[in-house]
Amino acid sequence: MFKLNHTHDPAATCWLASAQTAGCDFPIQNLPFGVFRLRGSNQAFRGGVAIGDQVVDMAALCASGTLSSLAALACETCAQSSLNDFMALGPQAWQTLRHALFALLHTSADAVTQGKVQACLIPQCAIEHKLPTRIGDYTDFYTSIDHATNVGKLIRPDDPLSANFQWLPIAYHGRVSSIGVSGQQFRRPMGQSMAPGAKAPVYGACARLDYELELAIYVGQGNRQGEPVSLAQAENHIFGISLLNDWSARDHQFWEMTPLGPFLGKNFATTVSPWIVTLEALAPYRLPWNRPADHPQPLAYLEDAGNRDHGALDIQLEVWMDTAQRQAQQAGPAKLTHTSFKHQYWSIAQMLTQHTVGGCNLQSGDVLGSGTISGPTAQEAGAMIELTQGGRQPLRLDNGEERAFLQDGDSVILRGWCEKPGAARVGFGECRGQVLPAIA
């Protein structure tokens, strides 16, 4: 696990003025990684690092001659059209490049260095993104006990939690081909659903379309098939985190889930934010991971003193909704939820270890979804099915609109950041997606 070091100093500043703006997601203490090119161009996509309102073009930085040794090698691999090869280099290379970037961008850098790096900057408003990695596999977990209880009560009021939930991080394998980067638009899915009391299902457009507030956990270096990753080593295999929206067709999902699990209810779209915030940047926001004393305690392979001491992360998360009517009224998006990832029942290290314990080999660039992130209060629910009690209590927005589930034209925006006294604010940017009408 990364420890606090000079890159976490809240007093550190960048010579780029926008990195010091109040509420900036990308100060010098962050330096998240993504893949970009100039919007509307035929340029090759390449790696970049966000700082203030700019992007450091890693291909240009390689050519500038400002880096050497391991930092230069890491920069060269980071300049490719995906981050997989860079992430496969491992924690030492990740940290070396991040620290080198910190030095180049720090106000203490000399004028010549500043000039060389300045020439590598491109305004974020002028770029477009693609997925930051070639995602070989995507596994979506189910690790919030508050979410599991809230949804379970809608289906099984007397027995909301499955018998295994408190013993292992549950997951299913998702669909990679329909994962898109923020700004993704997708069609309302078609499929089968079974109405309560009906004797036969019907085929049609999803009537209960939902979002799920999640995080994307990116695998850095993989493991060999048959060689499990211990809990103590798990975070050496995690590069970083972004936001993730696991869109869900609830009426299709609940009909098809017996007995095998999600299929069409989940495979039509998943949206991730473009910037991956490294675990090192998140080090000031580690918290003890706790399990209530009266709950089942983890089996030995999911238990570790380090995970108990600082396995949790206090990431603040919000869900916002924009609608066609709100846009016409210039009302701006409406906030639906605010919660924290610290409430999650299983840690990111436990998720990765559980994934490998049977011998599964993870690969650089793979994504683990955290599962819906809900807190202990009603206002912290991470999905619409919870906020509306299965659609029975529609949300009333401040402009008078009501929503039981998502309507065509609705956009959902996820936002995330970390902040506390004595530490610099670190943000994730936004994850935005929009629902388009179905094609029957």
Catalytic site positions: 147
State the residue for tokens 């997989």.
84
Letter string b/e over residues 322-338, b meaning 16 or more CB atoms within 10 A of that residue's CB? bbeebeeeeeebbebbe
One-letter amino acid identity for 98? R
Secondary structure of residue 363 in the 3-state scheme: coil
Q: Token pair for residue 231?
A: 């809990």
One-letter amino acid identity for 3? K
State the residue for tokens 């940017």.
429
Alpha-carbon gap, residue 274 to 30, rounded angstroms? 14
Alpha-carbon gap, residue 60 to 67, rounded angstroms? 11
CB atoms within 10 A of CB 425: 18
86 vs 10, 33, 70, 332, 428, CA distance in Å? 27, 10, 11, 38, 20
Longest dimension (CA), the chain: 75
DSSP 136-201: S-EEEEE--HHHHHHHHHHH-TT--S-TTTTTS-EEEE--STTEEETTEEEEPPEEEE--TT-SS-
